[in-house]
Chains A and B, each alone.
Chain A
Amino acid sequence: MTDHQQARIEADPRVPIIRIVRDFAATPAQLYRAHTDPALYARWVGPNDITTRIDHWDCRTGGSWAFSNVRGDESYSFHGCFHEISPTRLVQTFTFDGWPDGVSLETLTSRTRRGRAADHALPAPIVVSELEAAADQAS
């Protein structure tokens, strides 16, 4: 899968937004499921050396979420709201409970990449996922 694009981070020079772009060998439906099913989400959200425990999960437009990263006695908790949940666009907020004044707004969009000959050699359509995060710098 060497023609897959690795995670690329772009910073918008005009507004405080970073954009992470990444290719996946999957269907939009699979990507959506991996983001919205709490058992699947907990398996990949990471980081690598820590366990994710879902504390609350109400994945619908207007819903909310909370999870903790746990390693031995250490625990770091996070929470946010699901602002929009649709098959190709997820909009949610993200706050580290250790810094409750800070909140970032994350928009995940996915689209199917087509037209390149190389794509057809792959076992599944490639979905391009773009995560936009706008940080609110609490002052």
Chain B
Amino acid sequence: MTTDQLSRTFAALADPTRRDLVARLSLGDATLTELAAPYTMSLQAVSKHLTVLERAGLVSRGKEAQRKPVHLQPAVLEPVTDWLETYRRRAEERYQRLDAVLAELAETDPHDTRGENR
């Protein structure tokens, strides 16, 4: 997965309606009519949002002439989670190095460590 795909995913998700569509599709496939029902915007406007999600690979649309159900492609969201986790892991690694330094301070100054909770 390239950074470019990540950019496309974030761009596609940078809209509250499209995030709402993704959230609803995570519960199951739905048709355009079903997806548009809760909104005041036109069917065409919802269809445009779906096209953006489709181009980013987040959803696919069925081929059946009548229903054309919209289907979420959850695998595309995994790199987003991985990207965010990288930063959390980096912070945790930093604090584990800090743990080691603090443990050393505790050894050199034992009185300092036996304080408030004892």
Q: Which residues of A contact B (CB under 8 A)?
A: 6-9, 20, 22, 24-27, 29-31, 33-34, 40, 43-48, 112, 114, 119-120, 122-126
Q: How far is the CA of A124 from the CA of B117 in the complex (A)?
A: 7
Complex formed: what's the CA distance from A99 to B83 in Å?
A: 22
- A27 contacts B99, C-beta separation under 8 Å: no
B93 and A46 form a contact (CB under 8 A) = yes
Q: Is the interface of A mostly helix, strand, loop or mixed?
A: mixed
> Which stretch (B3-11, B58-66, B100-108) binds chain A?
B100-108
Contacting A at CB under 8 A, from B59-118, are 84, 87-88, 90-95, 97-103, 105-106, 109, 112-118
Going nearest first, the 4 A-B pairs with the smallest beta carbon separation are A44-B97, A7-B92, A26-B102, A124-B113
Total A-B Cβ pairs within 8 A: 83
Interface centre among B92, B95, B117 (most CB of A within 10 A): B117
- B115 touching A125, Cβ below 8 Å: yes
**Which of B91, B98, B106 gathers most chain A CB within 10 Å?**
B98
Name the one of B84, B99, B117, B118 contacting A24, with C-beta atoms under 8 angstroms. Answer: B99
Across-interface contacts of B106 in A (CB, < 8 A): 25-26, 30, 123-124
Chain B residues with Cβ below 8 Å from A124 are 106, 113-115, 117
Q: Is the CB of A46 within 8 A of B105?
A: no
Whether the Cβ atoms of B95 and A34 lie closer than 8 Å is no
- What A residues does B88 contact at CB under 8 A? 7-9
B94 touches A45 (CB 8 A): yes
Q: Do residues A26 and B105 form an inter-chain contact, with CB atoms below 8 A?
A: yes
Q: How far is the CB of B46 from chain A (nearest CB, A)?
A: 24
Flag if A43 contacts B99 (CB, 8 Å): no
Q: Which of A8, A24, A46, A48 contacts B102 (CB 8 A)?
A: A24
